[in-house]
Structure 1
Amino acid sequence: MHTLWKGSISFGLVNVPVKMHAATEARDLKFNYLHKECKNRIRQIKKCPVCDLEVGSDDLVKGFEYEKDRYVVLDDEELTSLEQPMSRSIDILDFINLPEIDPIYYQKSYYLSPEETALKAYRLLCQSMEESGKVALARVTMRSKQHLACLRVFENGLVMETMYYPQEIRHMDVVWDRVVPTEAELTMARQLIENLARPFDPEKYHDELHEQMVSLIESKVTGETYQVETPSKGGKVVDLMEALKASIALTESEKSQSQPIKPNETINLINSVNDGDGLEKRHADNSQDKIINKPKSTLTPRKRTSRRAKEA
């Protein structure tokens, strides 16, 4: 894996030299703008609207807009002087229980692998954290920005999750907490949740839109025709109890087959109850709404390494 950053984990008087690698990758398909007539790629040009000149990277400076169209300029030396003196250190602040951190705080995941001289210290930290059941809250500076981070054991190694600060989390204006469901509705809702409860299996879930987009692109490359049947739209659900009853009936039958339930399929079944149709008939109709099966694609997004990552 490509190394993005080198530093050390610091807790107490212990330092563990580590290398940082991206733990996830974007699977988005990148599109370029082309000239409609000649199909050549359009180049983006940086141009000053006042001087009417094209400018390069060396001609750019960083400015902060403190008022409308008024900027204060900060040079690289001034920004560098604000960096923390231990910018190559992941400083552990506290050890806490993982369930105490709400997932809304997590930002991005990175793998931390040990340098050759720190294998024993790295393994010691992993094993002691795993046995204690604790995770570490740390502070790290990357790319001139200080991050709050969570270190935890994953697949016998350390993964670091950069986190948002509390000031960066928006809060909802809750007005629906005054609505009180009936006991019958709560009972049926709990039953529906129990019917849908299963062990987490990440391989079970797929980005269906991404797979369809890849198939569309491959069909255009090979000159084939790609057809997708438009999924049927569900009608309006008019009764909450009827919706719960229909959903429970569906999950009871699907649970034995261990197959995921599609939202539009559930809505259609709910409306079939409202319309007086049988569940079996509606379920049979929906099973025909399938996309053409094609072999798994080998088309992957082109990976790009930023200049900053290369310099790290």
Structure 2
Amino acid sequence: MARAIWKGSIAFGLVNIPVALTSAESRPDIQLHMVDSSNHARIRYERVNADTGEEVPWDRMVKAYEHDDGKFVLLTKDELDTVQPELTKTIEISEFVDLLEIDPILFDKPYYLEPEKRGRKAYALLREALRKTNKAGISRVVIRTREYLSAMFVRDDVLILMLLRFPQEIKKVSTLELPASGDNAWKPVKKEMDLAVKLIGDMTEEWKPADIHDEYRESLMAYIEKKISKGDAVSDVRDPDDGDDDSSSENVVDLASYLEKSVQQASGKKSSGTSDGKTAKKPTRKTPAKKAPAKKTTRKNASKKSSSTKSKKSA
């Protein structure tokens, strides 16, 4: 059973779905350690003061930001805690977008969302609704004290929570020296283009990622096994196994009533809010929030009512 990173809930409208978050990645990397060839002991790295050469104990270590050459601003743990995002176990969907509108270059790290027993019905409802509309739910989620932008969509029968890179993290292509395109672009010779298109057509096959393997890892592992079979093994390193088991009771919730209230609430916001009907995003510490117009003063009360309702019932 996959170990859950955390257990929380998905929230969209007034519907609340308890879920467990597990990594969708499995990296079977071969871990190589640095050892002393004279006695096969592991090499230990020390924290050394660059000026004195002395080892620095953990209680004297602090983080610092180098704002100028050789000039640092020290940041204590308490100071860093004050600017960290509020720890929450809720994936609150702020809006839905067309999945195809999300540039794949923004995809960073995938996670699986597995429903708790009491949330399976609502989980299936959200999954099928996303599948039918081909939409993705956009949200912000906190994992291990860091806040991420994320997109939730369907793959087979599971909801995927894909962590997204912020657009500011993508380097500008203007920094690259690329052939020009458009009217002033270099135009290939017709014969060359025809041959290139034909070659691509001849090499086109059905994409079967399951048939592709990490050949380097397989070769290295085969070589290691060969050395072990010859008696060349000198040590055995094991990592402790730990698991996570949890069970919840099944309960029945009237999803239709929550959905109807959510639709009414969203319709009210759309008619009294922005013209494009998008829910106003919550302010973050990085981006100053825009002042809401006078018409939206009732939204605060609606938000409190939504939070109160969520705490009483969960789908």
CA distance in 1, matches of 2:26, 2:240: 11
Partner of 2:134: 133
CA distance in 2, matches of 1:207, 1:83: 38
Shift of 1:116: 2.5
Structure 2: which amino acid aligns with 1:96? V
Structure 2: which amino acid aligns with 1:184? K
Partner of 2:36: 35
CA distance in 2, matches of 1:212, 1:84: 44
Q: Which structure has the higher relative contact order (CA within 8 Å, separation 6+)?
A: 2
Counting only pairs closer than 5 Å after superposition, residues 43-122 of structure 1 correspond to structure 2 as 43-50=44-51, 52-85=53-86, 87-122=88-123
Partner of 1:184: 191
Structure 2: which amino acid aligns with 1:223? K
CA distance in 1, matches of 2:212, 2:231: 28
CA 1:222–1:86 in structure 2 vs 1: closer, same or farther (change >3 Å)? closer
User: Which one of the candidate residues 160, 172, 178 is aligned to 1:175?
Assistant: 178
CA distance in 2, matches of 1:166, 1:202: 28
TM-score calculated relative to the size of structure 2: 0.66
Does 18-27 or 195-204 show the bigger shift?
A: 195-204
Structure 2: which amino acid aligns with 1:109? P
CA 1:4–1:164 in structure 2 vs 1: closer, same or farther (change >3 Å)? same
CA distance in 1, matches of 2:56, 2:6: 31
CA distance in 2, matches of 1:68, 1:304: 43
Shift of 1:144: 2.7
Partner of 2:295: none
**Once the two structures are aligned, what percentage of the paired residues are identical?**
31
Shift of 1:10: 2.0
CA contact (8 A) 2:85 2:146 kept: no
SS at match of 1:30: coil
Across the aligned residues of Structure 1 and Structure 2, the Cα RMSD in angstroms comes to 2.7
CA 1:92–1:174 in structure 2 vs 1: closer, same or farther (change >3 Å)? farther
Runs of 4+ more than 4 Å apart: 301-305
Shift of 1:151: 0.9
Indicate yes or no: 2:195 matched with 1:194: no
Shift of 1:63: 1.7
CA 1:98–1:174 in structure 2 vs 1: closer, same or farther (change >3 Å)? farther
TM-score calculated relative to the size of structure 1: 0.67
CA distance in 2, matches of 1:70, 1:84: 27
CA 1:188–1:94 in structure 2 vs 1: closer, same or farther (change >3 Å)? farther
Shift of 1:198: 2.2
CA distance in 2, matches of 1:183, 1:126: 48
CA contact (8 A) 1:80 1:144 kept: no
Partner of 2:148: 147
CA contact (8 A) 2:9 2:18 kept: yes
Between Structure 1 and Structure 2, how many residues are aligned? 232
Shift of 1:303: 7.0
Shift of 1:19: 1.2
Does 141-150 or 48-57 show the bigger shift?
A: 48-57
5+ residue gaps, structure 1, are 226-300, 306-312
CA contact (8 A) 2:141 2:149 kept: yes
CA distance in 2, matches of 1:48, 1:72: 18
Shift of 1:54: 2.9
CA distance in 2, matches of 1:85, 1:34: 42
Partner of 2:167: 166
